[in-house]
């Protein structure tokens, strides 16, 4: 849409005007240069989104038009522009879209490789996908969990990490653990760390189930993922698991 093409540069200009070179440089070092940054924090991005939306009367658009706008923000290679897309979905569209429509649009982001770093992936999971699962239940959750079997790393990671916001609810365990079993078998670091993260949170509610999962899949864990999964366990138990992992590789 031509109007979208003209509006997005105006938001980008707003973000550039408040950007901090120090913040930009810190984030680019932290992310090991995998994605460029402007140097703008989440609260500031949200503030500029609200001002931008009001200035251009975007709130009067129908939900599908606003969805097109939000998705177009992901086309930018810059982190804060993608985060603006995430915040737009969370702030203005979360309760206006059918979950099938939302997931179909997000699947296209992965198909186009527009999400290619853990920071963007995880913010999308925590702020959009997890709340969508919480709102719509296991049908939506099942569709997301199926992503763990997809070939694209970041979509596969989302198939597990998206459940972090609902990890306190046991009804999602039959979706989470099979997705973890699929993801932990991948070789990529960020596949395994995604599993470690959610197991860490699951262990607060059901440590026995986490122990069983780790025991059954220990050979596929990295040391990093195992330490994360067992973060809240006793040090002696963590060390025993690490020793077993080391022994399995000698």
**DSSP per-residue letters across 10-65:** HHHHHHHHT--HHHHHHHHHHTTTSS------HHHHHHHHHHHHHHTTGGGS-HHH
Sign, Cα dihedral of 173, 179, 182, 187: negative
Three-state DSSP state, 166: helix
Indicate the SS3 state at residue 62.
Answer: coil
Indicate if the alpha-carbon torsion angle 199, 200, 205, 206 is positive or negative: positive
pLDDT digits (tens, 9 = 90+) for 12-27: 999 999 999 999 999 9
pLDDT score for 220 = 97
What's the mean pLDDT in 122-130? 98
Nearest of 130, 132, 28, 126 to residue 80 by alpha carbon: 28
Give residue 126's pLDDT band: very low, low, confident or very high (50, 70, 90): very high
**Which of 175, 230, 240 shows the shortest CA–CA distance to 203?**
230
pLDDT in tens, 154-203: 999 999 999 999 999 999 999 999 999 999 999 999 999 999 999 999 99
Among 191, 196, 194, smallest CA distance to 210 is for: 196
User: CATH says 1-97 is which class?
Assistant: mainly alpha
Triad 239, 31, 89: Cα angle to 5°: 105
- CATH 1.25.10.90 positions along the chain are 1-97, 115-250
CA distance 245 to 227: 11
Residues 207-216: what's their mean pLDDT? 98
pTM: 0.96
Neighbours of 9 (CB within 10 A): 10
In this structure, what token pair is assigned to residue 225?
């993922």
pLDDT tens digits, 41-91: 999 999 999 999 999 999 999 999 999 999 999 999 999 999 999 999 999
- Which residue's entry shows tokens 């973890």? 180
Instruction: Supply the pLDDT for residue 1.
Output: 58
Fold of 115-250: 1.25.10
Confidence of residue 2 (pLDDT cuts 50, 70, 90): low
């Amino acid at each position: 849409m031509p109007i979208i093409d003209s509006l997005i540069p105006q938001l980008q200009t707003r973000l550039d005007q408040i950007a901090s070179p120090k913040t930009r440089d810190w984030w680019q070092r932290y992310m090991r240069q995998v994605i460029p940054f402007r140097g703008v924090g989440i609260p500031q991005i949200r503030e500029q989104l609200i001002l931008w939306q009001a200035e251009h009367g975007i709130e009067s658009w129908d939900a599908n038009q606003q969805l097109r706008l939000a998705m177009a923000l992901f086309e930018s290679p810059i982190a804060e522009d993608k985060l603006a897309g995430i915040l737009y979905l969370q702030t203005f569209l979360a309760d206006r879209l059918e979950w099938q429509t939302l997931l179909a649009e997000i699947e296209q982001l992965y198909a186009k490789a527009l999400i290619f770093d853990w920071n963007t992936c995880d913010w999308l999971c925590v702020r959009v996908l997890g709340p969508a699962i919480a709102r719509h239940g296991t049908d939506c959750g099942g569709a997301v969990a199926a992503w763990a079997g997809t070939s694209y790393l970041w979509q596969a990671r989302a198939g597990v990490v998206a459940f972090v916001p609902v990890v306190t609810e046991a009804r999602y365990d039959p979706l989470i653990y099979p997705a973890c079993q699929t993801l932990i078998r991948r070789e990529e670091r960020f596949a395994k760390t995604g599993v470690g993260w959610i197991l860490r949170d699951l262990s607060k509610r059901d440590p026995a189930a986490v122990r069983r999962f780790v025991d059954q899949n220990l050979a596929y864990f990295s040391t990093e993922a195992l330490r994360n999964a067992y973060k809240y366990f006793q040090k002696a138990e963590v060390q025993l698991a690490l020793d077993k992992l080391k022994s399995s590789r000698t």
